[in-house]
Amino acid sequence: MAADDSRGQVETRRAMFAAERRQRILEVMRANGAASLRDLAEAVQSSEVTVRRDLRVLEADGLLNRHHGGATLPGALSREPTYAQKAHVAAAEKAAIGELAASLVEDGDAIVIGAGTTTQVFAQHLARHAELAVVTNSLLVAQALAAAPRVEVVLTGGTLRGSIHALVGSAAERSVAGLRVRRAFISGNGLTPERGVSTPNMQVASVDRALAAAAEEIVVLADHTKIGVDTMVQTVPTDEIDHLVTDDAAPREVLDELASRAVRLHVARM
C-alpha cells in the first residue's frame, strides 16, 4: 500500500506541474498572441519535447492553435498586437536581424521601409549611410533616422494608426504611387510559404502592398515568432519576396520551403 501511495503522490505532483506549465504557456500566449516553441520552453523552463506535448493538450482543449515551431491563440488571424506588446518580443533576435538587413543597403540607395518593431531596429543601423533616401510610413523609423545628417527621410501622408505608430489609408498609398526605389524593407505579423507575408489589418496591408510595389526587390524582416504563422490579410505573396532576413531559431522546414520557392535567406546567428 505504501508503494501505491508513493506512486499516487508522484502522479499528483506531475499533474500539478503540468497544469502550472500549461497555465504559464497560456499567459505567454495571451500577452503576445503567438510564440515559438523555443520561447515557450524558456518561459516554463522545460524541454521543447515537453512543451510540444503541452501544446497538443491545449490545442485539443481549444485554447490555442499549433503551427510550425510554435502556436497562436484562436482568433489570432485578426488580432493586431500593439507596439507596446511587440516591442519586447524576440528583442535580441530583432536586433540581429536589423543589423544583418542593414548590410543589404548601400550608400546612395533609395529605399522604402514599412512599419514594425523590426524595421525600427533596422532603421537604427542606417544612420551611418551617406546619400541615403528613405521613404516610410512609420513614425518609429523616421524617429530612428531623425538625427542622421546624410539620410533624407520622407514620411508618407495618411491617417495615424496609433497602436503601431504608423500612417495608413489612401493618402499613405498615394504618397508612394509612382515611386521607384531599389528595395522595400517590410515586416508583418506572419510569413508562410503558402501565402507569403500577412497582417491582421486591411489598412496596414494596403500600405505595405503599395510600398512593395514601389521597389525592384522586396526584403522581408521577420523573427522566428512570425515564421510559419498566418494572419488574415495577405500583403506580399511568396513569389514576390526576393529576400528574407530572419534568425536561426526559425523552423528549418519552413525556411527550406521558402528557399525552394526562390526566396534568398539571410539568417542572423544568435
Compute the average pLDDT of residues 36-59: 88
Same domain, 174 and 254: yes
pLDDT number for residue 10: 43
Domain end, chosen from 57, 74, 91, is at: 74
Same structural domain, 135 and 252: yes
Is residue 33 within 8 Å of residue 72, measured between CB atoms? yes
Residues 118 and 246 in one domain: yes
For 177-189, the pLDDT digits (tens) are: 999 999 999 999 8
Find the mean pLDDT for residues 112-135.
Answer: 95
Residue 14 has pLDDT above 80, yes or no: no
Per-residue confidence (pLDDT) for residue 30, from 0 to 100: 77
- Residue 186 pairs in a beta bridge with 220
**Whether 90 and 37 share a structural domain:** no
Task: For residues 160 and 215, state if they share a domain.
Answer: yes
Whether 188 and 220 share a structural domain: yes
Residue 228 or residue 154, greater confidence? 154
Q: Which residue has the higher pLDDT, 175 or 5?
A: 175
Kindly report which listed range (33-37, 46-50, 223-227) carries the lowest average pLDDT score. 33-37
Residues 116 and 212 both lie in one domain = yes
- Are 241 and 162 contained in the same domain? yes
For residue 28, the enclosing domain spans: 2-74
Average pLDDT in the chain: 88
245 shares a domain with 151: yes
User: Does residue 88 sit in the same domain as residue 123?
Assistant: yes
Average pLDDT over residues 227-236: 89
Domain match, 70 and 92 both: no
Look at residues 74, 97, 119 and tell me which one is the last residue of a structural domain.
74
Residue 7's pLDDT band (cuts 50, 70, 90): low
What average pLDDT does this structure show over 98-109? 97
What CATH number has the domain bearing residue 114?
A: 3.40.50.1360
- 146/82: higher pLDDT: 146
**For the domain that residue 67 is a member of, what is the CATH number?**
1.10.10.10
**Domain count for the chain:** 2
The C-alpha cell 489598412 sits at 203
Confidence of residue 8 (pLDDT cuts 50, 70, 90): very low
pLDDT band at 27 (very low <50, low <70, confident <90, very high): confident
Domain limit, last residue, from 74, 91, 110? 74
**Confidence bin at 242 (pLDDT 50/70/90):** very high
Q: Which residue has the higher pLDDT, 89 or 235?
A: 235
Residue 75: predicted pLDDT: 61
Model pLDDT for residues 243-267, shown as the tens digit of each residue:
999 999 898 999 999 999 999 999 9
Q: What is the pLDDT of residues 58-89, one digit of tens each?
A: 988 888 888 766 787 776 555 566 555 566 66
Map grid coordinates 499549433 to a residue: 66
Res 13: pLDDT: 54
Same domain, 169 and 197: yes
